[in-house]
Amino acid sequence: MNYIKPPIKFPPLDLDRCSKEPLWCKKEIVKRLMLLLLEYTRSKPLPFMAHIEPFGPGPTRPPVIPPDTQEEIPLYSNTTDGMVAILETSWALAHAETVGGVHDDVSATYIWAVRSRENAGTYGIDRSFFDFDLSLIPSSKTVTAVSLKIKNIGTHTEPVSIQEGTQDIPISTADLRKFTGLSFGHQAWTGVYNTIDFNSLGVAYIQSKLASTAKLCARDYDHDYLNISPNVAEVSAAGMYYANTASDDDKPLLTITTS
């Protein structure tokens, strides 16, 4: 067996004093053991002491990276939201029309918030527009996710598509075709509350509108967005609550997650 041979020696322990002063004896033994350990580890640091000076610099440690701080920012639609609608004698005319026949930005709800329909040779399209005040979100923030929740009213369950709106505020009949780009996402209108999670196009759009105003347009996905004429007597629609409703729980809600 290889015993440790320290280069230091201690005088014999005073056993008489130990019997009279056990506390002193205990401290003396501990002190001597610590000195022995110290002397030994100067030349051969123990693993658990390798990071302590003067025993050695220790292993390289990865930098401490603080966790990402995610923040969810809920925003209600402004009370300038609403709908614009048109009726024409053909689907092509209705879909290409730029000026609506009627608009409404004061009602709290509308069962035809988005709609594509045919009725006795007449074709109709209804679209809804929303705007959100993002002025208090610094443009230095990074948007990581966006969702839009809207409460349903009525019995229709057809898919709704959301995309960038270019409407004036407040809206008018001249805003019927004030939208641009591709869909940010679409969702069947089957629940009491329906949430559309934005795709990368939608997230990028909201990012570009931080510290400003975001505008959105809601359309019937199956016919209006895809530009497919409804069948005879077909109605494809979804109802919505707008910001003019009394309860905050029922207002359109845009949730922006930032880091």
Domain ranges of the chain: 16-49, 71-258
- pLDDT of 3 > 50? The answer is no
How many residues make up the chain in this entry? 259
> Amino acid identity, residue 73?
I
d(Cα 258, Cα 136) in Å, to the nearest integer? 13
Query: Which is higher by pLDDT, 2 or 209?
Result: 209
Q: If residue 76 lies in a helix (H) or strand (E), which one and from where to where? A: strand 71-76
pLDDT in tens, 40-76: 666 555 555 555 444 445 556 666 666 668 899 999 9
CA-to-CA separations, 41 to 10, 32, 168, in angstroms, rounded: 18, 14, 78
Give the count of beta carbons closer than 10 Å to the beta carbon of residue 119.
13
d(Cα 190, Cα 80) in Å, to the nearest integer? 26
Nearest alpha carbon to residue 98 among 9, 172, 163:
172
* The domain defined by 71-258 carries CATH number 2.60.120: yes
pLDDT in tens, 19-48: 888 888 888 888 878 877 776 666 555 555
Give the count of beta carbons closer than 10 Å to the beta carbon of residue 228.
13
- pLDDT of 225 > 70? The answer is yes
